[in-house]
Chain A
Amino acid sequence: MMYDVIIIGGGPAGMSAATVLGDRVKTLIIDENDRLGGQLVKQTHKFFGDHEHYASTRGFEIADKLLKEIQKKPVEISPSSTVIGIYPQNTVAYVKDGQIQKVQYKKLLLATGAMERQLPFVNSDLPGVYGAGAIQTLMNQYGIFPGKRFLIVGSGNIGLILAYQLAQTGVEVKMILEALDKVGGYEVHANKVRRLGIPILTGHTIVKAIGDEKVEGAVIANVDKNFNTVKGTEREVVVDTICVAVGLTPLIELAEQSGAKVSYIPELGGYVPLRDERMRTTNHDVFVAGDLSSIEEATTAMMEGKIAAMQIFEDLTGESLEDKILYDLNSLVIFRSGPKSSKIRTGLEKMGINFPKIDIPKSQKFEKYDDSKLHAVIECNEEIPCNSCEYACKFDAIKVGSNINSVPSFDPSKCTGCAVCVTACPGLAIFMKKVDGKTATLGIPYEFLPLPKMDDVMWGIDREGNYVCDVKVKRVVKNPNKTNIVYVELPSEFVDMVRHVKYQSKESPYVCRCEEVTLDEIEKVIDSGITDFEELKRLTRVTMGPCNGKNCKMVVLGILSKKTGIPISSLSHGTSRPPTKPVEFKVFLKEGEK
């Protein structure tokens, strides 16, 4: 079968291209998974970027939207199909349902993506050392707990996002290690993680995984400037899963087989196909887009997919789409003009794609804040490509402007306190604030379970994850996009410190192991006014199990004494009744009795 275009890879780049090509030329899209979407299907966070490219929409929802668009068009989709090679005469061979299929193309768009990079350390092959994507697959695609206690290696956006997603499922992330001296990913992503109390240890690496058949822990250590471990700094952490998030490598095999030249450009992720700014490789009929062309993100992958598709369309039909192509090329250049894209710019320049010097306009600072009315507080101080807040604000209070990398300017006098920006911000970096004398109201974006309840007292947590003060829940606004807002009341002096709330830890030690009574349960009974040991026994059954109280009696008396102030010597300590040990009932029977 001959197609005008074959797209290999149905992730963000391939899908975007299919939306452009679908109703104009005969298009086939081949993907190895049973549904299109690529890695988007397991991304639960809202994406940065601009509104045209699904900013503020969660990854799996972007995949759904793109799929719906494609399904409206006569695009042929071949899912669950593993491409095994590109052969002469523009032939793609793939295996589907155990059968080999051969199809031919006039134009080929490769959007094969990337795979997780390995990090060799002792026992890094042990089951339980997983790539970040593997953990997302288990957790977000299949709904399976990937583990209980995690160590994440790598603080790029993927490592940071993963830590946050793990915390959302209720498992414990012990720490994130970063070999460099600073966090790799966006500051707002790092802040989301830090306020959950997950430490990011810079200048650290993993030395070894511990365990025989599966991960039971890890040895971590400091690294010097040359990334060598510093002797004597090794220490153990107890985890059951180690997540490797140290970057991705483009999957270039098919590109090479198609006749596209590749070159080693580390800034772009390793070996990448050489291509021009319209995504054409050294083979005139072969195009690339997305992570295969440079390790970046889904937003740029979608933009590249569209550009490649429009150029392919021009090639095939002779019709001009120049205005649209130039518009998208310009958007991409502006998108990549921020400091976080400097690596990509350097890499692409090595390929001969030049970037004009673009100054990013500085944000305007407004001094006067009227704290007596509810207003937004924007904590986004890094130049990243996103204008979700500007689009969300219907009152012109937030401006990002012509360059999407500009830090938002916020004019509090125009803010009505509607808080739409709080739910829109992908970085969860916007809060609501109002001060009323000694009491303040704070609105916090909240994406955890359980959702706080009105009048509950919770812990107010600072930016580093530490307890600040108790806060009282005053209002909970549920939003369809699942970024809910919890409004709490707290003393005014803490309103600029608290950035997260959580319920007080419910862990309580077992005091009476026979009857399974916890410290918390005993203290509650004493707090209700019971100060007599005998009564405490009857109400909780402490000391009344098979051990006769030998294990816990002194502990219970200690708790009672501490809470009431009565010395143990003045408390009743109950009666010691036989039998002192558990014995069979029959020993009490007379001979012959049953």
Chain B
Amino acid sequence: MEGRILEHPILNFQRKARVKIFFEGREIEAYEGESVAAALHAAGIRVLRYTPIDGRPAGFFCAIGKCSACLMEIDGIPNVRSCMTKVRDGMQVRRQNKNGDLL
């Protein structure tokens, strides 16, 4: 199941402004205050990169900025922790292949 929780017995989610971010060029629904990794997960995207040596698919593990499993290419910069980076209107996010390239 993907998507956002609308009703919760304890919490009241108040979403901020809708922003446009692009994953591999495709527009993804996202809201101000969300991390890139969270917005991608809500859109059903779990593979955030392919690993440098064996090329294995990888996603986040800790989602709080410790494990560095979620490194992605964000606005052209590789090795950015997608779990600690908040979405921004017009942001271009790409899966990172291996170590990423500095343009």
The interface size bin for chain A is 35 or more
Determine whether the beta carbon of A169 is less than 8 Å from that of B8.
yes
Determine whether the beta carbon of B5 is less than 8 Å from that of A139.
yes
Determine whether the beta carbon of B9 is less than 8 Å from that of A145.
no
- Residues from chain B with a CB closer than 8 A to the CB of A115 are 62, 64, 66-67
A38 to B102, CA, bound (A): 33
Determine whether the beta carbon of A127 is less than 8 Å from that of B8.
no
Interface string of B1-32 (1 = CB under 8 A from A): 11111011111010100000000000000000
Choose among B8, B38, B66 the residue that contacts A138 (Cβ–Cβ < 8 A). Answer: B38
Which single residue of chain B is at the shortest CB-CB distance from A212? Answer: B57
Choose among A39, A60, A169 the residue that contacts B5 (Cβ–Cβ < 8 A). Answer: A169
Which single residue of chain A is at the shortest CB-CB distance from B8? Answer: A169
In the complex, the number of residue pairs spanning A and B with C-beta atoms less than 8 Å apart equals 114
Determine whether the beta carbon of B63 is less than 8 Å from that of A128.
no
Choose among A32, A44, A171, A214 the residue that contacts B57 (Cβ–Cβ < 8 A). Answer: A214
A448 to B38, CA, bound (A): 24
Q: Is A519 an interface residue (CB 8 A)?
A: no
Choose among A60, A127, A138 the residue that contacts B47 (Cβ–Cβ < 8 A). Answer: A127
A32-B84, A127-B47, A144-B42 as given contacts; A449 in contact with B5, CB under 8 Å:
no
Q: Is A133 an interface residue (CB 8 A)?
A: yes
A140 to B34, CA, bound (A): 12
Determine whether the beta carbon of B34 is less than 8 Å from that of A142.
yes
A44-B10, A143-B11, A148-B1 as given contacts; A131 in contact with B62, CB under 8 Å:
yes
A127-B59, A133-B62, A143-B4 as given contacts; A168 in contact with B9, CB under 8 Å:
yes
Determine whether the beta carbon of B11 is less than 8 Å from that of A130.
no
A531 to B53, CA, bound (A): 68
Most buried by B among A39, A116, A171: A116
A32 to B35, CA, bound (A): 13
- Residues from chain A with a CB closer than 8 A to the CB of B58 are 125, 127
- Residues from chain A with a CB closer than 8 A to the CB of B35 are 142
The interface residues of chain B, by DSSP majority, are classed as loop
Determine whether the beta carbon of B9 is less than 8 Å from that of A144.
no
- Residues from chain A with a CB closer than 8 A to the CB of B65 are 32, 82
Interface string of B44-84 (1 = CB under 8 A from A): 00111001000011111111111101000000000000011
- Residues from chain A with a CB closer than 8 A to the CB of B98 are none
Determine whether the beta carbon of A116 is less than 8 Å from that of B62.
yes
> How far in angstroms is the closest Cβ of chain A from B101?
20
Most buried by A among B4, B8, B33, B86: B8
A126-B57, A213-B47 as given contacts; A144 in contact with B5, CB under 8 Å:
yes
List, sorted by A's number, 15 A–B pairs whose CB atoms are closer than 8 Å. A82-B65, A127-B48, A133-B62, A134-B63, A141-B38, A142-B34, A142-B35, A143-B4, A144-B41, A145-B5, A169-B5, A213-B46, A214-B46, A244-B61, A447-B9
* B residues in contact (CB < 8 Å) with A: 1-5, 7-11, 13, 15, 33-35, 38, 41-42, 46-48, 51, 56-67, 69, 83-84, 86
